[in-house]
């Protein structure tokens, strides 16, 4: 069985930048270890916005410019980058919370074989849950799990609420 790890938005702006938090910084060592030890293929999502972010629907509701392509905040956290330095991975830029391209890339990589998906990253209550639900909708019979110790939410309460939502949608929370 093939195994896929999806690392969601471990970018500077979400770790210790514009939208960073103590909880986000705290998961970095676990994310690094998971990347280094994972036996399978890795996909990385990159929240990707442009200079017009304030005029977008998201920008009007969250008026904090972040992950503007080409900026330091858009880059992966330096520790995550280091962990990936000797690993092959597929980067997926996404302009919104969940990636519609990610399921297609995973399906192509699976090439008809059975597979499982594990998800880690930021933020549990926005992009992690969005990608988990997109993947579950595309692959209802595939085992999908989220490592809660390698995720952080906007708040601890939002993190727990997102984990409860994913459990309700038959995503395994480990």
| Residue range 2-173, CATH number | 3.40.50.850
Three-class DSSP category at 113: coil
* Phi and psi torsions of 6, nearest 5°: -110, 115
Q: How many CB atoms lie within 10 A of CB 95?
A: 14
Whether the CB-CB separation of 129 and 160 falls below 8 Å is answered with no
Give the span between the Cα atoms of 6 and 91, in whole angstroms: 10
Domain boundaries along the sequence of the chain:
2-173
Q: What is the pTM of this model?
A: 0.97
Closest by CA to 163, choosing from 121, 120, 125, 122, is 125
- What is the per-residue pLDDT for 38? 98
- What is the per-residue pLDDT for 157? 98
pLDDT along the chain (174 residues), means of 10: 98 97 98 98 98 96 96 98 97 97 98 98 98 98 98 97 98 98
Three-class DSSP category at 75: coil
Give the span between the Cα atoms of 89 and 72, in whole angstroms: 20
- What is the per-residue pLDDT for 111? 97
- What is the per-residue pLDDT for 139? 98
- What is the per-residue pLDDT for 66? 97
Whether the CB-CB separation of 41 and 2 falls below 8 Å is answered with yes
């Amino acid at each position: 069985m093939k195994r896929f790890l999806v690392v969601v938005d471990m970018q500077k702006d979400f770790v210790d930048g514009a939208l960073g938090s103590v909880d986000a910084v705290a998961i970095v060592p676990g994310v690094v270890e998971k990347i280094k030890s994972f036996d399978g293929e890795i996909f990385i999502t990159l929240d990707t916005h442009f200079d017009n972010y304030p005029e977008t629907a998201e920008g009007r509701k969250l008026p904090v410019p972040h992950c503007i392509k080409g900026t330091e905040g858009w880059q992966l956290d330096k520790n995550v980058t280091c962990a990936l330095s000797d690993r092959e991975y597929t980067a997926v830029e996404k302009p919104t919370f969940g990636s519609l391209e990610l399921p297609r890339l995973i399906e192509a990589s699976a090439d008809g074989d059975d597979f499982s998906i594990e998800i880690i990253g930021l933020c549990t209550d926005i992009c992690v849950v969005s990608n988990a639900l997109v993947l579950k909708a595309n692959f209802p019979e595939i085992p999908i799990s989220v490592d809660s110790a390698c995720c952080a939410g906007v708040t601890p309460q939002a993190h727990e609420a997102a984990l409860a939502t994913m459990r309700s949608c038959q995503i395994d929370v480990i």
